[in-house]
Amino acid sequence: MTFLDIQATKTQAEGLFRRKRMFAFGLPALVAVYFTYIFFAFDVPGLVQRANMDNARTLTSDIWSHKVHVTRNNRNGEITYAVEGERKGAYPEGERPSWVSGTDVITVNLGGDTIVRLLPDNRTEVDIPGFGLVAAQAEGRTIATNLPADLPEWINASNRRVAITTPEGRITITGSRTEVFNYFGGWELFWFTLDSRYHGAGLGQILFGAQIDPDRSNISGAVSDFWNNKMWRHKDVAWAIGETILMAFLGTMGAAMIALPLAFLAAKRFTPILLLRAATRRLFDFVRGVDALIWTVVLARAFGPGPLTGALAILITDTGTFGKTFSEALENVDDKQIEGVTSTGAKPLQRYRFGVIPQVMPVLLAQVLYFLESNTRSATIIGAITGGGIGLMLTQAIQTQKDWEEVAYYIILIIIMIMLMDWLSGWLRGKLIGTKDG
């Protein structure tokens, strides 16, 4: 090796070392600049400042618990008892929770020595351990109390509204009504509502015990009351999940059927005309370039809300994606199989049917089944926009700002639905094209 070769090698090594050093020091700096930009662009300090941990705790507790409302109408003195404060969860006439007692004076024992008394003349007393007795009276629209000016954080009071939050429950007093909320763990009335004869009956009693309803057998009556549960709406939920799966199925399969013949027009091996091939490819780019959610908004404006609108949005978007994937698969088919079919005197359509389709079928099926699984997730979001499927019910439950246990129920069902579709997709791939997911 000559002296010049040695110098050249040395220069190259020094240059490589400098580039590596610049990369080693430059990349962390670039990452730091990027995260600094995110920190200010997304207003992270503002998000932290606006975060309300009390609301977060309330939301978390509402997901796994329920509350029973004791409500007094301050206009007529009527007192009602209902799970989650809903009419369909109301206690039958003459019945009330065991922790409520009294006639003229209604005493509500929230536990932990916290006692609420609903007195005549719209008066309310709340006995709170460690704080004392809170007295309030509703007079028209105003609330008169004995509360001091300096209040703890868990009491919010004005002349129009008093709200007291304790670990045992909540009390809200306004001019129109007085409400006491008592919290309990679990999803109350999930199986049977209070008006069902099977409410409070155990599984063993239903299966093996004496007949509970004289007009129905235990099993058929229990299944009917569960299926028609007015509180949790199991029948409506099952129908909504079916709509979601149907949206995904119709959109995916419809897109595959439309995209396959168009893919031949986009494949160079089967369409030598450049203009036709380019026009088909640009059509695929256009329909898949617009997200399914955008198509959902456009189609909902044109055709109105409904599951069919969601299915059309999926169909349009997936037609472009399938068309591109299918055309690329068609470009890679083996000519020998086509020549073999041609040698038998097959016509062009027969050559495609027996010489081309069998070669690309594994790719086509794998893509279709994968997108069917993926579109099941997408159909949930699309349904929230178009007014169909489980997505609509999930959105409605969120918008009420009080049915968070139903939100949790729907999310769990969506996860189960996705897991089942994933299993079904893998099983079908194994049966149809001989592959198995790990």
| Nearest in space to 195 (alpha carbons), one of 38, 290, 87, 299 | 87
pLDDT score recorded for residue 4: 47
Share of the chain above pLDDT 90, in %: 19
The C-alpha atoms of residue 186 and residue 121 are separated, in whole angstroms, by 35
Amino acid letter, 158: S
Q: Which pLDDT tens digit goes with each residue over 340-352?
A: 777 777 777 777 6
Task: Find the mean pLDDT for residues 115-131.
Answer: 90
Q: Which pLDDT tens digit goes with each residue over 159-218?
A: 889 999 888 888 999 989 999 998 888 888 889 888 888 888 888 888 888 888 888 888
| Nearest in space to 144 (alpha carbons), one of 122, 166, 177 | 122
Amino acid letter, 372: L
Tokens of 42: 């997304």
Amino acid letter, 305: P
Amino acid letter, 30: L
Task: Find the mean pLDDT for residues 230-249.
Answer: 91
What is the distance, to the nearest Å, from the Cα of residue 395 to the centroid of all Cα atoms in its chain? 8
Q: How is 175-242 classified by DSSP, letter by letter?
A: SSEEEEEEEEES-TTSS--TTSTTTT--HHHHHHS--SSTTS-HHHHHHHHHHT-TTT-HHHHHHHHH
| Nearest in space to 132 (alpha carbons), one of 109, 111, 110, 148 | 148
Q: What is the DSSP letter of 352?
A: I
Average per-residue pLDDT in the chain? 83
Query: Structure pTM?
Result: 0.78
Are the CB atoms for 114 and 128 separated by under 8 Å? yes
pLDDT score recorded for residue 72: 92
Q: Which pLDDT tens digit goes with each residue over 402-418?
A: 678 888 899 999 999 99
Task: Find the mean pLDDT for residues 302-322.
Answer: 88
Are the CB atoms for 110 and 117 separated by under 8 Å? no
Residues 6+ apart with CB under 8 A from 362: 433
Task: Find the mean pLDDT for residues 117-129.
Answer: 90
Tokens 């008066």 appear where? Answer: 123
Point out the least confidently predicted range of 1-10, 300-309, 374-383: 1-10
The C-alpha atoms of residue 364 and residue 234 are separated, in whole angstroms, by 36
Residue 11 has pLDDT above 70, yes or no: no
The C-alpha atoms of residue 82 and residue 93 are separated, in whole angstroms, by 11
Confidence band for 240, pLDDT divided at 50, 70 and 90: very high
Tokens 């004289």 appear where? Answer: 214
Residues 6+ apart with CB under 8 A from 107: 100, 101, 115, 116, 117, 118
Residue 132: strand pairing partners: 128
Tokens of 345: 């005197």
Are the CB atoms for 360 and 218 separated by under 8 Å? no
Confidence band for 111, pLDDT divided at 50, 70 and 90: confident
pLDDT score recorded for residue 316: 92
The C-alpha atoms of residue 269 and residue 263 are separated, in whole angstroms, by 11
Are the CB atoms for 121 and 72 separated by under 8 Å? no
- Burial track 277-291 (b if 16+ CB lie within 10 A, e otherwise): beebbebbeebbeee
